[in-house]
A and B are shown apart, each in its own frame.
Chain A
Amino acid sequence: GEDVEQSLFLSVREGDSSVINCTYTDSSSTYLYWYKQEPGAGLQLLTYIFSNMDMKQDQRLTVLLNKKDKHLSLRIADTQTGDSAIYFCAESMISGTYKYIFGTGTRLKVLA
């Protein structure tokens, strides 16, 4: 079945790099996404990667995709207190129904 797993918590010091990990089970995924949810808010799309790519960089964000191990990671360079939030990875299916499968979310806490 389809499943997306993340660790629940991550704590880093301001200025360090954060790495949030995600594993998925469906090899037919088309796109993989990272969303950010700040307290009391909806989800905001941060970035996404197509399944035939290995890496994507967007300013402080780097996404790495290991298709063999079905492992996705989000690296945030120079982490700031404003990066404290819940981060969700998600995959979309190739079936065309536009459905996402979301992970459980990782709560990132940035210590000043």
Chain B
Amino acid sequence: DVKVTQSSRYLVKRTGEKVFLECVQDMDHENMFWYRQDPGLGLRLIYFSYDVKMKEKGDIPEGYSVSREKKERFSLILESASTNQTSMYLCASSFIRGHSYEQYFGPGTRLTVT
């Protein structure tokens, strides 16, 4: 089974702190994604990566950066956390089987910025 793990389930940080969210997948997937989930807004893509050291902005990249130094690991960085970044963060990875682009998700990190 595909396994996507995230470093923390719950995180509380102060405004202005630098925050690292880590995601690891064990299926040798090329693609990895970071989303945030907010009630009534569904999932919104922050960044994705299609290869080591490669990244592309998603729909809401402002205030975030990412790092992919190894194929299995994709990190989301909040350079200076703000209260409007309080949210559920979901990591996903995918391979191409046929052309179905199925994404597999981690359990999520609920981040609270006070």
On chain A, which size bracket covers the interface? 20 to 34
Query: Could you say which residues of chain A place their CB within 8 Å of the CB of B100?
Result: 31, 48, 50
16 extra A-B contacts, CB within 8 A, seeds A8-B40, A42-B90, A105-B42? A30-B101, A31-B99, A31-B101, A33-B102, A35-B105, A42-B106, A42-B107, A43-B92, A43-B103, A48-B100, A48-B102, A97-B56, A98-B96, A99-B45, A102-B35, A104-B42
Q: Known: A42-B106, A42-B107, A45-B104. Contact between A88 and B42, CB under 8 A?
A: yes
Q: When A42-B105, A42-B106 are in contact, do A102 and B43 touch as well, CB less than 8 Å? A: yes
Residues of B within 8 A of A33 (CB): 102
How many residues in B have their beta carbons less than 8 Å from beta carbons of A? 27
**Which residue from chain A places its CB closest to the CB of B44 in the assembled complex?**
A102
The answer to whether residues A43 and B105 also contact, given A30-B99, A98-B50 and a CB cut-off of 8 A, is: yes
Chain A nearest CB from B48 CB (Å) reads: 7
Asked if A80 lies at the interface with its beta carbon under 8 angstroms from chain B, I say: no
Q: A92-B101, A98-B94 are in contact. Are A42 and B108 (CB under 8 A)?
A: yes
Interchain nearest-CB distance for B63 vs A (Å):
20
Nearest B residue (CB) for A30: B99
Contact between A88 and B43, CB atoms less than 8 A apart: yes
Q: CB of B41 within 8 A of chain A?
A: yes
Contact of A41 among B40, B44, B108 (CB under 8 A): B108
Contacts A97-B56, A98-B31, A98-B50: A45 and B42 contacting too (C-beta < 8 A)? no
CB pair B42–A102 under 8 Å, yes or no, is yes
